[in-house]
Amino acid sequence: MDKNFLNDFPILRSKMNRHQIAYLDNGATTQKPESVVRSICGYYGGCNANPHRGVYELSVRATKIYEDARRKVAKFINARPKEIIFTKNATESLNLVAYSYGLNNLRGGDEILITIAEHHSNLVPWQRVAQATGTKLNYIYLNADGNLSQADIDKKLSNRTKILAVTQISNVLGLVNDVKKLAAQAHEVGAVVVVDGAQSVPHIPVDVQNLDADFLAFSGHKMLSPMGIGILYGKRKILEEMPPFLSGGDMIEYVEEQATTYAELPQKFEAGTQNVGGAAGLSAAIDYLQGVGFDNIERIENDLTTYTISELKKLPYVELYGCDAPNKVGIVTFNIKDVHPHDVATILDAEGVAIRAGHHCAQPLMKFLGQNATCRASFYFYNTRRDVERLIEAVQKVRGIMHIA
Amino acid sequence: MDKNFLNDFPILRSKMNRHQIAYLDNGATTQKPESVVRSICGYYGGCNANPHRGVYELSVRATKIYEDARRKVAKFINARPKEIIFTKNATESLNLVAYSYGLNNLRGGDEILITIAEHHSNLVPWQRVAQATGTKLNYIYLNADGNLSQADIDKKLSNRTKILAVTQISNVLGLVNDVKKLAAQAHEVGAVVVVDGAQSVPHIPVDVQNLDADFLAFSGHKMLSPMGIGILYGKRKILEEMPPFLSGGDMIEYVEEQATTYAELPQKFEAGTQNVGGAAGLSAAIDYLQGVGFDNIERIENDLTTYTISELKKLPYVELYGCDAPNKVGIVTFNIKDVHPHDVATILDAEGVAIRAGHHCAQPLMKFLGQNATCRASFYFYNTRRDVERLIEAVQKVRGIMHIA
Amino acid sequence: MLENIYTELIAEHSQSKENRRQLEHATTKERGHNPSCGDEITLELEIADGVIKDAAFSGVGCAISQASTDMMIDLMRGKKIDEAKRLAELFIDMIHGDITDDAELEELDEAAALKNISTMPARVKCATLAWHTLDTAIKGR
Amino acid sequence: MLENIYTELIAEHSQSKENRRQLEHATTKERGHNPSCGDEITLELEIADGVIKDAAFSGVGCAISQASTDMMIDLMRGKKIDEAKRLAELFIDMIHGDITDDAELEELDEAAALKNISTMPARVKCATLAWHTLDTAIKGR
Ligand SMILES: Cc1ncc(COP(=O)(O)O)c(C=O)c1O
Ligand SMILES: Cc1ncc(COP(=O)(O)O)c(C=O)c1O
């Protein structure tokens, strides 16, 4: 019997439209356990100060909280603390790489390779880099089961490829890409590998050294942490050679009127006052996740996903996407025939079931799938079979409410 | 008799090194009232969801909290909500302008004009823009009293000047620049005016329309709000013509494989999941500040500043900077002869007095003042005369502890 | 609650094919979209002597946006431009919850049935899409 | 607490002018800095036959960094390179709180008086500046 996680998440015991909430939009953001909220409040109530800058005790405490969080994140993904840069979200992390690495290392004739399943945050920045540097942006397409086409990879990955940017888990299909294999293949042709870990780091153990990723971006808020804190991991050697991205306070060494030298890693990439409250929350979140354990997280999510898919498959008017591949994690995307996903979401909302409807910030993938929009249920370990039953019951009501025969 | 603000700030009633804390580093970051902390916790405990994206009620609530915060900020500085862009701190706000406006509107022969009193965050980004675009970075120097030299302004502001970037209040000298007059003069030659409001918006009423600023940047954490939320105001017409800065989720309209159209203001500049918890805290902070009232804030800070200066002037071994001009707000910068500021700060810390020592992210100003580093006491309305007395008592002990005759 | 939104009337209008076509003599064509949902419509108008002689649309979207478009076209056919502008404003005000008096809303005919959308902030844009598109199409006429 | 930091010994060393000069026969010159405080020193060494024959410094900084530099120079004068490296490491370990046994620290002579800095994280860099600079200067010799 699993621990009743609901005890730690008051919001999951609350009501939405007079029903206990079944929160199935964890791909967008997760809820926060009490320990995380307590840690934020504890920070502001007892240690709040500007870190790095002050000699006095309060500031020393803030610095320690902030740097402890960095060490914790480093350990969590098997990196070194100097290789962990705090940002505001995964999107900023990816933009940092696009601006500081991309704009400065690409030139005409080079190519950037991404997949058609990328989130806009790992797509639009590369489009802009391609436009600014006159490089070509190529796409890896998918097999019928939703997985990356190896033939397409082999065709498009060449020694012109300077950057391979790939999500470890698609936020629409929930399929786990074999990033380790991809990275090895990309490194063979000399490309740098940027991994979007926004959907993977919260759900499966991620080891940057084992993957041999050059960069890994993810967001705190999708792994129990407060909003406003994201992470960029980068290999030390690469980060050291990159120019700063944002500039200003705390990332400098010496500033003269016409010239500036920059601080060492990781400060070089952290300009201005950082989100220490967010870091405090992130620390507590990692502690909580490690308490649960990835073996449990994977087991629970796998059970919920399999159960959902098998129940939805019983409904002839439901169409599923990417649900036949085995490398599937916690995300089920579907449509109800003749009903627009926004109407589905509204009807589910009235039943207290929170799912996401729309393009999921992946318009090129939607187009590839031939859909304008879809419904998405995404799980975290605190969800239960009861949540799935509520989802299925609500789905069964939809066509009736919509007056479809 | 002023309200006892300490009731609202538990941290100010706590001890640092066995003394009740006298927190005089408000220029670096301020403490948060309980209402702000409650509002963050309330958000995570009851309304947490990804805004803008969800159809379900929780997400609708999160969206409302986020957009209400934007409307509140807009009203606070007399702007329109569309003109308010949320960032992570003032530094990001200034970098946004430097990257998106600066890099795209300047070319060789143009000039950028800033003051020698700028914080690195309103200096280094312009240095980098100047280097990238081949433009010249000019400095306005100061009169003996620390105020901007009008002669220098007249000399250096010309029709080659495309950007005037100026702080409204220096974080070292605490002197209020007449931004309204500067903006008028700059607009006459066609320059765009970027105002660093990090030290002004928390302390004096700021009206962007009255100032006629083109951009105004400030940070939530210096005005009672949580860390991780900053603000950029920009005139609508100018923002509309600027390309996006960060790109990714939520800032797009349509994304195709090779081209993207962008959302309208303000979303165009807000990529990825935003800090809704931070916005909730910022809302509560503005409510609190308006409850206190700027008339009270200015009166209290003025009293504390005047008192501090007059007491420090009695000590022959104390040297003061920028303390003879009348346009002074809440910041007192000084040195104790023969003692390095870091030693001063350590000794004050042992007495429970938190001040800042160093270059205050303003190295060019330090050089201009002929100092390597200084001590800085900076006030907020919750400070008291007792805090000042504690500061003065501690300062009087310094030279003895340092074994200076 | 939901029964007040997804009524039979709205279902009928959202599924109706009558106004879903191309006009032979269109004088104005306007695209409207709601990128966050993927809703997209193209509105065609035949305007002559300051009167909307005919109207039709094509596009995809949720039931609310489709029904709202269909109802709007029924309402606008034969209306003077000024009248159409006023009605579009009235509808938008209703959806924003600024007008609640049923008597005032009578003029909107069947489209008044969308009144309850005002309680669903996430769906407001779906309901108003067509009406904003119309407003843009006839602006300055 | 403070009395254990700002001792008379440290005051003396921080104000001492003896080691503040330029060496006539410097063989190595190394700049060290601590940008966040503005501390800056230039360390000069005269090395011959694997031995630090003489050392001196110039620069500005807080009492702790100045005293620490002065004490280090007193300690290092006449030491073999290997010995100097070992002592610099010992000192840095002490400041980081990794070595607390007074007997072990005896070798550091007067510099052992800076031991209590290990309880003041904000000042650790001040104390170690000179020692890191020395370490860089003799690295690879
Ligand atoms: C005048 C001034 N500008 C800009 C900043 C930068 O603010 P932040 O560190 O919140 O980005 C500060 C504060 O450090 C400041 O005092
Ligand atoms: C795969 C993927 N990448 C990137 C992001 C962007 O994350 P954020 O919005 O926190 O910047 C998301 C989440 O929205 C995502 O699912």
Residue C19: per-residue pLDDT: 97
A301 and A255 in a single domain? The answer is no
Q: Which of the four pLDDT bands, split at 50, 70 and 90, describes residue B13?
A: very high
Same domain, B217 and B134: yes
Element (H, E) at B39: helix B34-46
Residue A156 shares a structural domain with residue A267: yes
Contact B309, B392 (CB under 8 A): no
Active-site annotation holds for A361: yes
CA distance A304 to A310: 10
pLDDT bracket for residue B62 (50, 70, 90): very high
Last residue of a domain, one of B267, B290, B313: B290
Our count of domains for chain A comes to: 2
Of A290, A305, A330, which one is at a domain's C-terminal end? A290
Question: Model confidence over B305-347: pLDDT tens digits?
Answer: 999 999 999 999 999 999 999 999 999 999 999 999 999 999 9
With tokens 């009492």, the residue in question is D63
Do A239 and A306 have their domain in common? no
Domains and CATH numbers, chain D: 2-138 (3.90.1010.10)
> Does ligand 1 have an atom closer than 6 angstroms to the CB of A273?
yes
Is A356 strand, coil or helix?
A: strand
Judged against a pLDDT cut of 70, whether residue B217 lies above it is answered with: yes
Helices (H) and strands (E) in chain A, counts: 14, 17
Nearest to A60 among D33, D36, D121 (CB): D121
Average per-residue pLDDT in chain D? Answer: 94
* Residue A243: predicted pLDDT: 98
Range B149-178 average pLDDT: 98
Is A297 found in the same domain as A286?
no
Q: Is A53 in the pocket of ligand 1 (CB under 6 A)?
A: no
Query: Does B330 lie in the same domain as B226?
Result: no
Say if residue C48's pLDDT is above 80: yes
Q: Are residues A70 and A151 in the same domain?
A: yes
Record the tokens describing residue D89, joined without a space. 């490491």
CA–CA distance from A283 to each of A291, A394, B169, B404, C133 (Å)? Answer: 12, 37, 35, 45, 49
* Token duo for residue C39: 């809703």
Of B85, B317, B350, B147, the C-alpha closest to D5 is B350
Cα distance between residue A324 and residue B121, in whole Å: 51
Residues A157, A225 within the same domain: yes
Q: Alpha carbon of B54 to those of A389, C36, C60: distances in Å?
A: 21, 10, 20
Residue A347 and residue C61: Cα distance in Å, rounded? Answer: 16
B203 neighbors B300 (Cβ within 8 angstroms): no
- Identify the bridge partners of residue A230 per DSSP, sorted by sequence position: A87, A219
- Other C-beta atoms within 10 Å of A214: how many? 24
Residue identifier of the C-alpha nearest atom 14 of ligand 1:
B28
Q: Backbone phi, then psi, for C65, in 5-degree steps?
A: -70, -35
Q: What is the distance between the terminal CA atoms of chain B, rounded to a whole angstrom?
A: 41
**Between chains, do A124 and B45 touch, taking CB under 8 Å as contact?**
no
Last residue of a domain, one of A242, A265, A290: A290
Please tell me whether residues B26 and B47 are part of one structural domain.
no
A76 and A23 fall within a common domain: no
Check whether residue B9 and residue B118 sit in a common domain.
no
| Residue D20 confidence (pLDDT) | 97
Cα distances (Å, whole numbers) of residue B35 to A42, B65, B155, B234: 14, 15, 49, 29
Q: How sure is the predictor about C140, in pLDDT bands with cuts at 50, 70 and 90? A: confident
Amino acid sitting at position C84: A
Per-residue pLDDT, averaged over D89-117, amounts to: 94
* Low pLDDT (below 70) residues in chain A: 1-2, 53
Instruction: Calculate mean pLDDT across residues D57-85.
Output: 96
**Mean pLDDT computed over C94-110:** 94
User: Which residue in the set A17, A340, A359 is minimally distant from C62, CB to CB?
Assistant: A340
Q: Phi and psi of A111, rounded to 5°?
A: -135, 150
- Residues B153, B158, B160, B166: what is their CA dihedral angle, to the nearest 10 degrees? 30
Residue B71 is given by DSSP the state H
Interface touch D122/A52, C-beta < 8 Å: no
Chain D residue closest to A267 (CA)? D36
Q: Are A274 and A218 in contact (CB under 8 A)?
A: no
Q: What is the CATH number of the domain that holds B142?
A: 3.40.640.10
The secondary structure of residue B13, as a DSSP letter, is: G
CB contact under 8 A, D122 and A59: yes
Write down the residue that tokens 């009620």 correspond to. Answer: B57
Cβ(B171) to ligand 1 under 6 A?
A: yes
Structural tokens at position B113: 């004009």
What was the pLDDT predicted at D39? 86
Q: Which of A39, A89, A84 is nearest to A65 (CA)?
A: A39
- Which residue range forms the structural domain that includes residue A377? 5-31+293-401
Angle in degrees, CA D37, D43, D46, rounded to 5 = 170
Model pLDDT, residue A405:
74
CA A117 remoteness from chain centre:
13
In terms of domains, do B235 and B348 share one? no
CA dihedral D67, D69, D71, D75 (to 10 degrees): 180
Cβ within 8 Å of residue B104, ≥6 positions away: B242, B243
Q: Are strands B136-140 and B111-115 parallel, antiparallel or unpaired?
A: parallel
pLDDT for position D140: 75
Q: Does the pLDDT at position B1 exceed 70?
A: no
User: Which of A26, A30, A91, A360 maximizes ligand 2 atoms within 8 Å of its Cβ, making it the mutation to test the pocket?
Assistant: A91
Nearest to B358 among D11, D38, D60 (CB): D38
